Amino acid sequence: MSGFDTLLAQSTAPRAEQARALGLPTPRVERWKYVPTRTLARTAWVAPTQRDTDTFALSGGQFLNIPTVDGLTEVQSGLTESERLRLDAMATAHGFSLTQDALNGHQLILEVGASASVTLTLEHLANLSLEAGFATLVIRVGSNASLSLIETFEAEAASETNLDSLRMLVSVARDGRVNHLKFQAANAGQLIFHAVDVDLSENAQYTLDTIDFGSKMARSDILITLSGRHANTDVRGLALCNGSQYHDTHLAIDHAVGETTSAMMFRNMVDDKGEATFNGRVLIRKDAQKSATEQSVANLLLSERARVNPKPELEIYADDVTASHGCTVGSLNKAELFYLKSRGIAEADARAFLQYAFAEEVVERVAHPQIREQIETRLLGELTHGELIAELKDALDV
């Protein structure tokens, strides 16, 4: 049983029946162990509608205003065989991924031409109450091309339950590069499901900054496959959970060939009754010699009832690799607090300083200045005593 039964019953998609039969994953499905499925299961989800806008947006499972810029083409000829296989793997993981597949609205395929340089800003519009929108975006980045992909979320004040699901397939050809920035500050009623599958050819690069502040719950499944030599990826993430928010990122990096490098840095800051899950898995295959990976995961717990479920995993089958990893869970550092307080900074302000500092490790690396500014403003708003830092920034930053 799931809240999608009615929609699935109406669907003629090949996997609709299977999705309905299987229902939502239970906690026995390891990857879904901590996901609160109550709202998913109990909401009587309805088909989405689209809102009006002028910019490139995802609204109710449809992409609107597909940009026409130099170097970017919308492909009409459908998926390649390998894309189809990757999407199949994504779709058949469990009952919910089948649902995502069966209820998919729009599948958009975009191609960035060889040596082109394109910036795409996609805004996720808030869906209406009880609406569940599902979409798929396939992006091919040509050789030596560069794509800057920015995803933002409309932070409507409305807090009615709604669902936004986006599956993304990204294939980067030789020497291509993708900088992906996702700033999720969605409305408090939204459930967000993001699945990203990236494949990197020789000397291709993919960086991801993923910032999760908003929504009721957000789940990201990210798979990055380094399939060409000298491919490299760098993923940085920050999730803030306040109230009873749940944020969950499952990140897997697959070093399929040698001389590939990866780095992941993830920070969870959890307050109130919030909960964060982070699963970071790095696989270095037998033939992926001379690969290197760095993993840094830190979790900051700010209340008694806050919970984190961190799980860093390193699976290494090659013998000539460099791997470093670290995972910490803790509360604010006492020595740092004392230092600030000994300078006359009040306890509440000192705590805000340190929370800000924890988040800044990720935020300060966001390359896009305007979005970084938005992230910082929102971050300071989320902190219980962020006003002092906001004032200092205003007064002292040039």
Partner 1 sequence: MLVIRNLHARVDDKPILKGINLEIQAGEVHAIMGPNGSGKSTLSSVLAGRDEYEVTDGEVIYQGQNLLELEPEERAWAGIFLSFQYPVEIPGVKNIYLLKAAVNAVREHRGQPELKAGEFLKLVREKLKIMQMDEAFLHRNVNEGFSGGEKKRNEILQMQLLEPTLALLDETDSGLDVDALKIVGEGINRMRDPSRSVLLVTHYQRLLDIVKPDYVHVLADGEIKLSGDFTLAERLEREGYEGIEAA
Which is closer to partner 1, CB of 5 or CB of 360? 360
Chain centroid to CA 280: 13
Per the CB < 8 A criterion, the answer to whether 228 and 254 are in contact is no
Nearest partner of 354 among 336, 372, 338, judged by Cα: 336
Stretch that binds partner 1, among 7-15, 152-160, 245-253, 386-394 (CB under 8 A): 386-394
**What does the alpha-carbon distance between residue 65 and residue 54 come to, in Å, rounded to a whole number?**
7
Q: Does 1 bind partner 1 (CB under 8 A)?
A: no
* Tokens describing residue 386: 């962020």
Taking CB under 8 A as the criterion, the residue among 107, 148, 357, 385 binding partner 1 is 357
Instruction: Give how many residues touch partner 1 by CB under 8 A.
Output: 30
**What does the alpha-carbon distance between residue 169 and residue 196 come to, in Å, rounded to a whole number?**
6
Stretch that binds partner 1, among 175-183, 186-194, 302-310, 336-344 (CB under 8 A): 336-344
CB of 41 to partner 1, least distance (A): 39
3-class SS at 312? strand
Q: Does 240 bind partner 1 (CB under 8 A)?
A: no
Q: Does 307 bind partner 1 (CB under 8 A)?
A: no
Q: Does 364 bind partner 1 (CB under 8 A)?
A: yes
Q: Does 387 bind partner 1 (CB under 8 A)?
A: no
Q: Does 157 bind partner 1 (CB under 8 A)?
A: no
Taking CB under 8 A as the criterion, the residue among 349, 368, 373, 385 binding partner 1 is 349
Taking CB under 8 A as the criterion, the residue among 68, 77, 330, 334 binding partner 1 is 334
**What does the alpha-carbon distance between residue 387 and residue 367 come to, in Å, rounded to a whole number?**
24
Q: Does 344 bind partner 1 (CB under 8 A)?
A: yes
Stretch that binds partner 1, among 41-49, 124-132, 188-196, 356-364 (CB under 8 A): 356-364
Which is closer to partner 1, CB of 238 or CB of 282? 238
Q: Does 385 bind partner 1 (CB under 8 A)?
A: no
Pair type for strands 106-112 and 72-74: antiparallel
The Cα-based distances of 49 to 3, 5, 99, 186, 187 in angstroms read 18, 19, 18, 18, 17
Q: Does 392 bind partner 1 (CB under 8 A)?
A: yes
Q: Does 341 bind partner 1 (CB under 8 A)?
A: yes
CB of 143 to partner 1, least distance (A): 38
Q: Quick one: angle between helices 334-342 and 347-363, nearest 10?
A: 120
**Region of residue 392 (phi > 0: left; psi between -120 and 50: alpha; otherwise: beta):** alpha
Stretch that binds partner 1, among 99-107, 178-186, 204-212, 359-367 (CB under 8 A): 359-367
* Tokens describing residue 285: 């295959």
Which is closer to partner 1, CB of 94 or CB of 385? 385
Q: What 8-state DSSP symbol labels residue 294?
A: E
Taking CB under 8 A as the criterion, the residue among 36, 123, 340, 373 binding partner 1 is 340
**Region of residue 381 (phi > 0: left; psi between -120 and 50: alpha; otherwise: beta):** alpha
Burial of 51 per CB tally in 10 Å (0-12, 13-18, 19+): middle
Per CB under 8 A, residues contacting partner 1 are 334-336, 338-347, 349-350, 353-354, 356-361, 364, 388-389, 392-393, 395-396
